[in-house]
Amino acid sequence: MYTYDAFDETFVTERVAQFRDQVARRLSGELTEDQFRPLRLMNGLYLQLHAYMLRVAIPYGTLTSIQLRRLAHIARRYDKGYGHFTTRQNIQYNWPALKDTPDILADLAEVGMHAIQTSGNCIRNVTADQFAGAAAGEIEDPRIWAEIIRQWSTLHPEFSFLPRKFKIAVTASPNDRAAIAVHDIGLKMVRDQHGEVGFTVYVGGGMGRTPFIGKEIRAFLPKAHLLSYLEAVLRVYNQHGRRDNMFKSRIKILVHEIGADAFRERVETEWAAIKDGPVELPAEELARIAEQFAPPAFETLAAVAPEFEMRRFEDRAFARWARANLFPHRQPGYAIVNLSLKPEGEPPGDASAEQMDAVADLADRFGFGDIRVTHEQNLVLPHVRQKDLYELWQALLPLGLATPNIGTVTDIIACPGLDYCSLANARSINVAEDITRRFSDLDRAHDLGELKIKISGCINACGHHHVGHIGILGVDKKGEEHYQITLGGDATETASIGEIVGPAFSAARIVDAVETVVTTYVGHRAPGERFLDTYRRIGMKPFKDSLYATH
Amino acid sequence: MAPQMVTANRLADGVVVYLAADGRWRERCADGHVVDDRASAAQLLATAEAAVATCDVVGPYLIDVVPGDGGPRPQRYREQIRAAGPSIRTDLGKQAEGY
Ligand code: SF4
């Protein structure tokens, strides 16, 4: 895992000292709120509905056990004992006091973390496949490139004041778990016909008010040229992106307005001028960074551990968890373990300080101290020996971290919504909680198969509702919470934007409406079809008919 | 005009507060000073702006309130959540303190 070098350390420590001074000057009145706001936002500190909110960056969703313990400590010492993992693989604290934030940032800096570029019109925290370095079928660890992008983009002077915020996601697997199609830039590692590794580059994806799936602007970019090419894309956006209208300022609008071909041409022209220039990463630096992501000391094991097989056979609950929450590992005898942060009736993505500490301990005991945060708001222990899985599962059960529901109807993404967020139209967490209660029967949930529900409390779409198989968007209708349903969204390699099914449902009716959608699917599905498959085959009409027939 | 009061967040810790009749900032909405004419509302907001200048609070604004059992309470749903705490964590926020 990447550890800070002296440069990173000095920079982050200096930044904490600066912010300490800025906070002191704000509290003494030397700085006005208008002067201070941009400074606090540059350090991830927002003012939300109830209090300040601190968003801490977790680059590409990777944490060491030491870092996770520190996040637990911050939750306990400065907040109300919990944190919220977000769809950007970050963590948010909902109750920090302004006067404490310099101490929080100092505590973070000690473990190589910060809250820089988690706000503002800059390149935000780079996200990546949470199974990086572990997934079977991965081309190479995408975090090497995510870290390179992090270093390149951190305080990049030319790109600190872009027309709008900018999000980059990287994956190196054929199965896209990083939702690259709905990012400003999505990077997918691929091999060309000669076996050389590079990236397919997508631009202009995004959600919010005007959702778009990213357009491919380069089928193959040799990886050595990644930074110069990204620089070219950002330059074109920085020059031509709209600054006159906040709703049209994201790169997706520029790409849409001029077209992917024209955009590609501008990028290629820009790139021709800087390619092979000083922005390209020297091979030694690449090697230095790559070395930090070297695989842990895996043991040589048989592909399948007999202990694991036996336990699965004997213990039905364990077998169910194993089926839902484990993913194949590239190393024989190992598994990728998902820890669900979606227990029935609880806020998606919240973890208590005790849970964080316990996960850190379990990561040390069973998984090389490596923890991942997923954009679907769960945690992952990426490298666990199969023979340890039963013991791990038993340890997770009393912690409330063994809900066997990954990818199912109750593994819901929900943004903070009106319970915390000052921009919200409606609550989202309570809707998620109610849906998990409605579908609490595990047999039923598993029978429904892969089903992704995603909920946002406003059109900003932090809850990714546009790409939910069932998307739920909170709207305000004459001062009352209502919910609009979209169907057929998909954030993976077969990405699509969901379509609005019809008029919004009241808060009292939304869970029934979701159930109607689900039963309509069950009534129409062909053997082996997931919800998304059925929807793509039969279209919107049957769903619309059953949803609005009862009115 | 609907009855109104002024709310803000306390600068140092972000806590939601309401401007009381004695010019102090209180954590309970029910302790906020209610006005029901435009001139008094403007006056109340001006008092609040002065508190911004002295670094007590940030972002003051007027909210509509309605009479309730324990005193005035916010009319809009958003402000009710702000006055109470997250609806999904009743152990947190002002509601946890019995407000
Ligand atoms: S989608 Fe809207 S309500 Fe939800 S967190 Fe984002 S801005 Fe807030």
Q: The complex's ipTM?
A: 0.96
Q: Looking at this protein, which amino acid is placed at residue A413?
A: I
Q: For residue A56, list its beta bridge partners.
A: A91
User: Does residue A338 carry a pLDDT above 80?
Assistant: yes
Residue A261 has what pLDDT? 97
B50 CA from centroid of ligand 1 (Å): 31
> Which phi-psi region, left, alpha or beta, contains residue A155 (left: φ > 0; alpha: ψ -120 to 50)?
left
Distance from the Cα of B65 to chain A's closest Cα (Å) equals 14
User: Does residue A234 carry a pLDDT above 90?
Assistant: yes
DSSP, residue by residue, A468-502: SSEEEEEEEETTEEEEEEEE--B-STT-B--EE-S
Residue B97 has what pLDDT? 85
What gap in Å lies between CA A436 and CA A409, rounded to an integer?
8
A551 CA from centroid of ligand 1 (Å): 29
Who contacts A521 (Cβ-Cβ below 8 Å, separation ≥6)?
A448, A531, A534, A535, A543
CATH architecture for segment(s) A6-109: Alpha-Beta Complex (3.90)
What gap in Å lies between CA A353 and CA A70, rounded to an integer?
9
Please state the rounded mean pLDDT for residues A513-527.
Answer: 98
According to CATH, the topology of domain A142-291 is Sulfite Reductase Hemoprotein; domain 1 (3.30.413)
- Within 77-96 of A, beta carbons closer than 8 Å to B belong to 80, 95-96
Provide, rounded to the nearest whole percent, the portion of chain B with pLDDT above 70: 100
Residue A550's pLDDT band (cuts 50, 70, 90): low
Please state the rounded mean pLDDT for residues A513-524.
Answer: 98
Residue A423 has what pLDDT? 96
User: Does residue A314 carry a pLDDT above 80?
Assistant: yes
Residue A22 has what pLDDT? 97
What is the overall mean pLDDT for chain B? 95
Residue A11's pLDDT band (cuts 50, 70, 90): confident
B16 at interface of A, judged by CB pairs closer than 8 A? yes
| Residue A448, SS3 per DSSP | helix
User: Between chains, do A52 and B15 touch, taking CB under 8 Å as contact?
Assistant: no
B41 at interface of A, judged by CB pairs closer than 8 A? no
Task: Give chain A positions within 8 Å (CB) of B77.
Answer: 418, 479-481
Please state the rounded mean pLDDT for residues A284-313.
Answer: 95
Q: Looking at this protein, which amino acid is placed at residue B30?
A: A
Please name the residue of chain B whose CA is at the shortest distance from the CA of residue A101. Answer: B13
A43 CA from centroid of ligand 1 (Å): 19
Instruction: Note whether B63 and B76 are within 8 A (CB).
Output: yes
Task: Give chain A positions within 8 Å (CB) of B81.
Answer: 49, 418-419, 427
Is there a shared CATH topology between the A6-109 domain and the A142-291 domain? no
Task: Give chain B positions within 8 Å (CB) of A475.
Answer: none
What is the Cα Rg of chain B in Å?
13
* CA count, 13 A, side-chain hemisphere, A8: 18
Domain residue ranges of chain A, discontinuous segments joined by +? 6-109, 142-291, 306-399, 413-547
Query: Among B54, B88, B93, whose Cβ lies nearest the Cβ of A430?
Result: B88
Which of A49, A377, A458, A466 for a ligand 1 pocket mutation test, highest count of atoms within 8 Å of Cβ?
A: A458
pLDDT digits (tens, 9 = 90+) for A482-501: 999 999 999 999 999 999 99
Q: Classify domain A413-547 by CATH number.
A: 3.30.413.10
In terms of pLDDT, which residue wins out, A32 or A120? Answer: A32
What gap in Å lies between CA A339 and CA A330, rounded to an integer?
19
Instruction: Note whether A168 and A159 are within 8 A (CB).
Output: no
Task: Give chain B positions within 8 Å (CB) of A29.
Answer: 53-55
Residue A20's pLDDT band (cuts 50, 70, 90): very high
Please state the rounded mean pLDDT for residues B36-63.
Answer: 95
User: Does residue B91 carry a pLDDT above 80?
Assistant: yes
What is the overall mean pLDDT for chain A? 96
SS (H, E, C) A367-434: CCCEEEECCCCCEEEEEEEHHHHHHHHHHHHHHCCCCCCCCCCCCCEECCHHHCCCCCCCCCHHHHHH
Write the CA distances from A426 to A314, A377, A469, B82, integer angstroms. 45, 20, 20, 13
Write the CA distances from A305 to A354, A389, A483, integer angstroms. 31, 10, 47
Please state the rounded mean pLDDT for residues A201-205.
Answer: 97
Of A56, A170, A157, A168, give the one whose Cα is nearest residue A112: A56
pLDDT digits (tens, 9 = 90+) for A407-439: 999 999 999 999 999 999 999 999 999 999 999
Q: Classify domain A306-399 by CATH number.
A: 3.90.480.20
Please state the rounded mean pLDDT for residues A89-95.
Answer: 97
A418 CA from centroid of ligand 1 (Å): 8
Interface test with A, best of B82, B88, B94 (most A CBs within 10 A): B88
Q: For residue A199, list its beta bridge partners.
A: A189, A221
Provide, rounded to the nearest whole percent, the portion of chain A with pLDDT above 90: 93
Of A336, A351, A437, A442, give the one whose Cα is nearest residue A385: A336
Domain residue ranges of chain B, discontinuous segments joined by +? 4-93
Residue A8 has what pLDDT? 84
B93 at interface of A, judged by CB pairs closer than 8 A? yes
pLDDT digits (tens, 9 = 90+) for A269-296: 999 999 999 889 899 999 999 999 999 9
Instruction: Note whether A18 and A104 are within 8 A (CB).
Output: no
pLDDT digits (tens, 9 = 90+) for A431-456: 999 999 999 999 999 999 999 999 99
User: Does residue A530 carry a pLDDT above 60?
Assistant: yes
Q: How many residues does chain A have?
A: 551
Of A343, A337, A464, give the one whose Cα is nearest residue A389: A337
Task: Give chain A positions within 8 Å (CB) of B66.
Answer: none
